[in-house]
Chain A
Amino acid sequence: MHGLPGVDKVGVEARAAALSTRSIKTTSKAAAIDLAIRMVDLTTLEGADTTGKVRALAAKALRPDPADPSCPPVAAVCVYPAMVPAVAEVLRGSGVHLASVATAFPSGQAPLEVKLADTRDAVAAGADEIDMVISRGAFLSGDYRHVYDEIVAVKEACGPAHLKVILETGELGTYDNVRRASWLAMWAGADFIKTSTGKVPVAATLPVTLVMLEAVRDFRAQTGRQVGVKPAGGIRTTKDAIKYLVTVAETAGDDWLSPDWFRFGASSLLNDLLMQRTKLTTGHYAGPDYFTLD
């Protein structure tokens, strides 16, 4: 773990800032918006979530812009395990994935058996993607073996479901740790590495995502296995989303520019993408009342 090359904070942040200055216009922007919509994991992770609420969300995932049939569906709906059955009904046969956070989300502070049961239940209820959290406490205390073993066990519990491993980068403290946690998760079998739960003050940032993209790129070069990346939390505007896509394109490359390999964990982002999409189609600025709030 400590043999991985370091990450210079100032350098990586400068690189992310430079990538943010890319100017994506006209046809490229239209392509980017549709791609970003297709990459959204439309998410609700609230204590107040109800079956009514998540069904509405799932409906929106299938037809984000009811007024425009050319608008693509999102990649997935992401909910708590208890909400999975309700969402599964709506999504069945649509091709939109059903992701569920599991493993004592968001803290990860539960016995392994509880985490595994959580995972199995979600999969049994119809989730085909599991977003697990790593034990940051174990990671920060240097007990990498513990973190690794947990991921391996959860991966096994997932069965056919894809495993996204949430590193909770906002709690890791350094970019060096982000890189180490990324490699640890990939070695343990993660299909995706994901930045954040959205439940701590610092969620996804562009430099953190850049470091993770470098990690998946290097991991594939070394092992031949491709792993996806999912920034989650804090990405609210089309402008932000495009910065992420530019970063994907210029860091990991073309191969990652697909919903199979890159996702946005977001809720409000979708409506901004839809508004910008409408602006490009109609030529005038769109208003929020014309898009559903689900």
Chain B
Amino acid sequence: MSERLKVRKTYKLYIGGKFPRSESGRTDLVDGDNVARASRKDARDAVVAARKAQPGWAGATAYNRGQILYRAAEMLEARRAEFKHLGVSGEEVSASTDRLVWYAGWADKLAQVTGNANPVAGPFFNLSAPEPTGVVGVIAPPSLLGLVSVVAPAIVTGNTVVVISTGPQVAITLAETWATSDLPGGVVNILTGDPAEVAPWLASHDDVNALDLTAVADAALAADLEREAAGTLKRVLRPAGAEADFTTDPGLRPMTALLETKTVWHPKGF
């Protein structure tokens, strides 16, 4: 009896909860797989999907967002074998899963840590609370842990993301875990391809609020993207450079950098 012929997986993009091919029809051959190479129009579509999803995602209760991120951790844990097959170590899958769990717990706590009741000198209630900045463009590191470490802090607070990844198989496999985690379509959108080609379209896009350049190794590209981002005064998370180490405690900064502080005043009187 001949050996059973394997059913291969096709790695496409992840936009608006669906897995479309690149509108350009382009693919790259990566480790034997034809993976989609995203175009500027895919980036455009992804931003539309992210914007559409953002109010609903931000409007979900923090408890609900935390539950969904925890569900994503469950799904990731369950895909351990597949990631191993893609060359991701068991330790890295464990660390990635644990990180998702860590961020899931932040969903309903961050506002308590970063918000303030402000004792203004007058008869006013005054409260500062964090809010998501909106749609975030993320140039992701290729590793699973890196990808989880940039996406989770962005979305846990209610942002939606358009991710450009150079690790297509890992990224799209991770997308499959999110697609089965009750995460609403459009909250996370993944474009695989060349950041130098696609990222400038995100950096200059009027409907993108922030840009995460943490994982950009090319300093000249990062500076160009930051300059482009200045056009609409996007919030920019600058490259971590050689220090980009996703194994350490990330602290609050990856979350707080993508938040706005809203301060509400109201008089107090009978």
Name A's B-contacting residues (CB within 8 A): 8-11, 13, 173-175
Q: Are A10 and B270 in contact (CB under 8 A)?
A: no
Contact code string B196-219 (vs A, CB < 8 Å = 1, else 0): 000000000000000000000000
CA distance A173 to B269 in the complex (A): 11
Q: Are B124 and A174 in contact (CB under 8 A)?
A: no
Interface centre among B123, B124, B268, B270 (most CB of A within 10 A): B270
Interface size on B, residues (CB 8 A): 7
Q: Are A174 and B270 in contact (CB under 8 A)?
A: yes
Instruction: Point out the residues of chain B lying under 8 angstroms from A10, CB to CB.
Output: 122-124, 267-269
Instruction: Point out the residues of chain B lying under 8 angstroms from A174, CB to CB.
Output: 270
Q: Are B270 and A11 in contact (CB under 8 A)?
A: no
Instruction: Point out the residues of chain A lying under 8 angstroms from B122, CB to CB.
Output: 10
Contact code string B235-270 (vs A, CB < 8 Å = 1, else 0): 000000000000000000000000000000001111
Instruction: Point out the residues of chain B lying under 8 angstroms from A175, CB to CB.
Output: 270
B268 nearest CB neighbor, chain A only: A10
Q: Are B269 and A8 in contact (CB under 8 A)?
A: yes
Contacts between the two chains (Cβ within 8 Å), count: 17
Instruction: Point out the residues of chain A lying under 8 angstroms from B268, CB to CB.
Output: 10
CA distance A10 to B268 in the complex (A): 7
Selected A-B contacts with CB under 8 Å, 17 pairs:
A8-B267, A8-B269, A9-B123, A9-B267, A9-B269, A9-B270, A10-B122, A10-B123, A10-B124, A10-B267, A10-B268, A10-B269, A11-B267, A13-B269, A173-B270, A174-B270, A175-B270
Main secondary structure of the interface of B (DSSP, over half): loop
A177 nearest CB neighbor, chain B only: B270
CA distance A184 to B114 in the complex (A): 49
13 more A-B residue pairs beyond the given contacts A9-B123, A9-B267, with a C-beta to C-beta distance below 8 A = A8-B267, A8-B269, A10-B122, A10-B123, A10-B124, A10-B267, A10-B268, A10-B269, A11-B267, A13-B269, A173-B270, A174-B270, A175-B270
A174 nearest CB neighbor, chain B only: B270
A10 nearest CB neighbor, chain B only: B267
CA distance A71 to B261 in the complex (A): 61
A7 nearest CB neighbor, chain B only: B269
B122 nearest CB neighbor, chain A only: A10
B123 nearest CB neighbor, chain A only: A10
Distance (whole angstroms) from the CB of A10 to the closest CB of chain B: 3
CA distance A107 to B123 in the complex (A): 33
B266 nearest CB neighbor, chain A only: A10
B270 nearest CB neighbor, chain A only: A174
CA distance A10 to B124 in the complex (A): 8
Distance (whole angstroms) from the CB of A29 to the closest CB of chain B: 31
CA distance A11 to B124 in the complex (A): 11
Instruction: Point out the residues of chain A lying under 8 angstroms from B267, CB to CB.
Output: 8-11
CA distance A9 to B123 in the complex (A): 10
Distance (whole angstroms) from the CB of A230 to the closest CB of chain B: 24
Instruction: Point out the residues of chain B lying under 8 angstroms from A173, CB to CB.
Output: 270
CA distance A175 to B269 in the complex (A): 10
A173 nearest CB neighbor, chain B only: B270
Distance (whole angstroms) from the CB of B82 to the closest CB of chain A: 61
Distance (whole angstroms) from the CB of B256 to the closest CB of chain A: 32
B267 nearest CB neighbor, chain A only: A10
Contact residues of B between 182 and 233, Cβ < 8 Å to A: none
CA distance A11 to B122 in the complex (A): 12
Contact residues of B between 111 and 133, Cβ < 8 Å to A: 122-124
Instruction: Point out the residues of chain B lying under 8 angstroms from A9, CB to CB.
Output: 123, 267, 269-270
Instruction: Point out the residues of chain A lying under 8 angstroms from B124, CB to CB.
Output: 10
